[in-house]
Amino acid sequence: MVLSGVCLLAVMVLYLGCQESNAPATSVKTEAKAKPAVKAEVKEAKPEVKPEVKPEAKAEVPETKPAAPEAKVMVAEPNAGKVAAEDNGIAATVNGIVIKDADVDAKVSTYMERMAAQIPPNMVEQYRTQIRGQALESMIVEQLLAEQVKKMGISITDKDVNDKLNEIIAAQPGGMTMESFKAMLAAQGQSFDVVKGQIKKTLGYEKLLGIVEVNDAEAKAFYDENKEDFNKPEQVKASHILVKVAPTATPEEKTAAKAKIDGLLKQVKGGGDFAALAKENSDDPGSKIMGGDLGFFDRNTMVKEFADTAFAMKVGQVSNVVETQYGYHIIKVTDRKEGGLTSFDKAKADIVRSLQDKKKNELFRQLIEKVKAGAKIEYPPGKEPKPRMPMMQRPPRPNTPAPQTQSGSAAPAPK
């Protein structure tokens, strides 16, 4: 799950980039969606504002499985520098603090388990190797930043964390509550307590950066230079019920899935409560907790079969069974928005947030480089990091609807 306002955490987790580790979720925009149309986070590319069909934050928040307690990042060991040279299950030492192979492997395993269905079998080891390097790097950076937070006497209270958490929840579509937020995390394999801990760390990192301001002139200049990004296409709001069919499903399994969706359609057409049936029967964990609600999306957000059906329907109408690469769907359209240019006044708050995030990310890069340059980082012989390679293409996965801002829109990502 990528959460609005925690892009810095994603940067920390995968080191110098708002990429997922977090995350990621699955929803109808997860299993119906082939590609996200708009971005809610500010990446190094171009800002856009903005469901196995939408969902690991925003901030990408780093990903973790509920059942698995978060591995300790660092363990203080006496004579760490000397031990490092002898290996003994040590991945690295940072200013005398040991990072153990077991802790790195635990993070990697958690991530790989969550992504298992989305990684081609013949590429599993390649991904594992790549992710392990990123996991170790993020743990090193996390330790160095923790030292800086302590050095500066920065304190983050439970109230700070809860306020930020409530802000994140309020920004999500569909009237999400704390309980539904927890249920969504559990469905996505994330621990609520771990997410709160990650938010606390991120708030500390942000305080290291200080106040980052964006003035009206900067916001207006960005709007004028990127007006095409604020020209929104027609959007539809819909809910769905998914009965998943794996690509490797046998004819018998596919027949059983079709029989199930046909039965559900009969109940819906007979006056059954769509939201209740979705919560009870949908295989899309990201949207089922919301009664199948996917929020608003444009035509390019979903896979073609799903989008063609949804955009041809009237508000309140329920589709027949729709088959996509994810399985069988029943779609209900609940609202529509006409396309058009968003005015600067309406877009301003989101633009300011996006530009602030871009500035924070750059300051964060500089901070990481600075603390790494002044740190003593040692690796056992043969475990030295290899030169950073271009990020391997991530396996396609159902995209989660992008977290929304308070205004319900997203700003294009700053270039």
Please list the residues that pair with 99 across neighbouring strands.
92
Structure confidence at residue 389 (pLDDT) = 54
pLDDT band at 402 (very low <50, low <70, confident <90, very high): very low
Cα separation, 222 vs 230, whole angstroms: 11
The more confident residue out of 86 and 40 is 86
Reported as a single tens digit per residue, the pLDDT across 332-381 is: 999 999 999 999 999 999 999 999 999 999 999 999 999 999 999 999 99
Q: Would you give the DSSP letter of residue 270?
A: T
pLDDT average, residue stretch 130-154: 94
Please list the residues that pair with 240 across neighbouring strands.
331
Highest mean pLDDT range out of 28-32, 109-113, 310-314? Answer: 310-314
pLDDT band at 112 (very low <50, low <70, confident <90, very high): confident
Torsion from C-alpha of 415, 357, 111, 106, nearest 10 degrees? 130
Identify the CA nearest to 71 among candidates 100, 37, 43.
Answer: 100
How does DSSP assign 287-318, residue by residue?
HHTTTTEEEEEEGGGB-HHHHHHHHTSPTT-B
pLDDT of 66 above 60: no
Identify the CA nearest to 367 among candidates 169, 171, 144, 173.
Answer: 144
Structure confidence at residue 61 (pLDDT) = 33
Cα separation, 404 vs 402, whole angstroms: 6
pLDDT band at 266 (very low <50, low <70, confident <90, very high): very high
pLDDT of 104 above 80: yes
Place of tokens 């569909």: 174
In 3-state terms, what secondary structure has residue 309?
helix
Q: Would you give the DSSP letter of residue 345?
A: H
149, 200 Cβ separation under 8 angstroms: no
CB atoms under 10 Å from CB of 83, counted, come to 17
In 3-state terms, what secondary structure has residue 235?
strand
Reported as a single tens digit per residue, the pLDDT across 84-94 is: 345 579 999 99
Cα separation, 295 vs 316, whole angstroms: 14
In 3-state terms, what secondary structure has residue 390?
coil
Cα separation, 280 vs 289, whole angstroms: 9
Structure confidence at residue 198 (pLDDT) = 93
The more confident residue out of 183 and 158 is 158
**What is the CA 135 to chain-centroid distance, rounded?**
16
**What is the CA 346 to chain-centroid distance, rounded?**
25
Structure tokens at 367: 């901070």
Cα separation, 108 vs 99, whole angstroms: 14
Highest mean pLDDT range out of 61-65, 165-169, 239-243? Answer: 239-243
pLDDT of 403 above 70: no
pLDDT of 128 above 70: yes
Which segment of 151-160, 188-197, 392-401 scores lowest on mean pLDDT?
392-401
Structure tokens at 123: 């590429």
Structure confidence at residue 173 (pLDDT) = 66
Cα separation, 412 vs 415, whole angstroms: 9
Q: Would you give the DSSP letter of residue 31?
A: H
β pairing state of 293-298 and 235-244: antiparallel
405, 172 Cβ separation under 8 angstroms: no
Q: Which amino acid is at 235?
A: Q
Reported as a single tens digit per residue, the pLDDT across 277-314 is: 999 999 998 888 889 999 999 999 999 999 999 999 99
pLDDT of 327 above 70: yes
Structure confidence at residue 118 (pLDDT) = 78
pLDDT band at 174 (very low <50, low <70, confident <90, very high): low
Label residues 290-310 b or e (16+ Cβ within 10 Å = b).
bbbbbbbbbbebbbeebbebb
Domains and CATH numbers, the chain: 7-213+344-401 (1.10.4030.10), 234-338 (3.10.50.40)
β pairing state of 75-76 and 410-412: unpaired
